[in-house]
């Protein structure tokens, strides 16, 4: 991931450390729920940035 698409690498490293610290205090179920929420948010943001919905792009690949 380049810096113009996300956080610069130093900030990404700090964020990763914060997430690791937070997830150590969470149950496995909570970590999986968090991962699902993050995945949904990333997918939604990508959808907003794209010019076509993901389903239309996927149909074109078949």
Domain assignment of residue 4, yes or no: no
Residue 7 makes CB contacts below 8 A (sequence gap 6+) with 15
Could you give the number of structural domains in the chain?
1
CB atoms within 10 A of CB 19: 13
CB atoms within 10 A of CB 58: 10
With a cut of 80, say whether residue 7 has pLDDT above it: no
Domain assignment of residue 55, yes or no: yes
With a cut of 50, say whether residue 3 has pLDDT above it: no
Q: Model-level pTM?
A: 0.54
With a cut of 70, say whether residue 61 has pLDDT above it: no
- Which range marks the domain in which residue 45 is found? 9-61
At 36, list the tokens. Answer: 């699902």
Domain assignment of residue 49, yes or no: yes
pLDDT at 27: 94
What b/e readout covers 24-36, taking b as 16+ CB neighbours within 10 angstroms? eeeeeeeeeeeee
């Amino acid at each position: 991931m380049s810096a113009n698409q996300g956080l610069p690498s130093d900030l990404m490293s700090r964020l990763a450390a914060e997430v690791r610290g937070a997830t150590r205090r969470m149950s496995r179920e909570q970590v999986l729920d968090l991962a699902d929420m993050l995945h949904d948010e990333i997918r939604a943001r990508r959808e907003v940035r794209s010019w076509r919905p993901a389903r239309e792009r996927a149909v074109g690949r078949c």
